[in-house]
Amino acid sequence: MNYWQGALLGLVQGLTEFLPVSSSGHLVLAEAIAGVEPPGVFVEVVLHVATLGSVFIVYGRRLWDLAVGLFRRSPDRIRYIGLLAVASIPAAVIGVFFQKAIEARFHSLPWLGIEFIATGFILWSTRGSGGEKTEPGWGTSLGIGVGQAVAILPAISRSGATVAAALWAGLTPAAAAEFSFLLSVPVIAGAALLEARDATVNIATVGLGPLIVSFVLAFVSGVYAIRFLVALLRRGRFYSFAPYCWAVGLLTLVWALWQG
């Protein structure tokens, strides 16, 4: 991977990680267009770690509040952390037991096209949804977690699936966004730990310099993407990304057929 490819992938990751359009799907497309042949899903995981840093920047105060509340044994904070833990279970199970099967199809263009279209329908289904709840219940948390587990597939948007599930359950847009973004912390950290086993070999293959450029650009642009999506959610326009996902999905399928 050279520097311009690294810059492209970093910007794609940062701008699409938190928007409900699937950053992984866009990364795979960008890799195919730019001619990047990454080792497994190592580059994708590294860039997801970069955008995890964006979550710490935007929601750092909330994360600190939860950490202090846990230390002081605050019932409300402990309950919220428990809700995040329950919601993390489905993705952890899928990631551990189906990692190889997912990686085998991760760069398949036909599958990407289908998954982009599915993401569009998920987003479109949120029209008129949302309510007054400021945090989910235990059952709702598990349902949001199932949405995150499904989004392990590259072109199913993680933020799209989790925010949609939260809105369906009656959470306010701000509460849905916060829970979704905080929920990304354990699943991305877990994926990074799985990939860390082969990190030295993979860094040598990809190139340290371009990887650093990708990381920094993904981190910075991710901060702006979070703030943009939260503002959009508050205006009730989450479903607006559905036509875009349908268009990208159809174009991906056409490209896959054209390539044979």
Please give the residue that has the higher pLDDT: either 219 or 105.
219
Retrieve residue 207's tokens: 């190139």
> Predicted confidence band at 170 (pLDDT cuts at 50, 70, 90)?
very high
pLDDT in tens, 2-22: 788 888 888 888 888 788 888
Sign of CA dihedral 192, 77, 151, 104: positive
- The Cα-based distances of 218 to 18, 147, 188, 194 in angstroms read 11, 24, 14, 21
What secondary structure, in 3-state letters, does 197-232 show? HHHHHHHHHHCHHHHHHHHHHHHHHHHHHHHHHHHH
C-alpha span between 167 and 132 (Å, rounded): 10
- Residue 22: the pLDDT is 82
**Residue 98 pLDDT greater than 90, yes or no:** no
> Predicted confidence band at 194 (pLDDT cuts at 50, 70, 90)?
low
State percent of the chain over pLDDT 70: 87
**Residue 100 pLDDT greater than 90, yes or no:** no
- Residue 223: the pLDDT is 92
Please give the residue that has the higher pLDDT: either 118 or 44.
118
> Predicted confidence band at 188 (pLDDT cuts at 50, 70, 90)?
confident
**Domain extents for the chain?**
3-259
pLDDT in tens, 108-127: 788 889 999 999 999 999 98
C-alpha span between 63 and 34 (Å, rounded): 37
Say if residue 106 is exposed, middle or buried (CB neighbours under 10 Å; 0-12, 13-18, 19+). buried
- The Cα-based distances of 106 to 51, 214, 232, 233 in angstroms read 20, 20, 29, 29
**Residue 196 pLDDT greater than 80, yes or no:** no
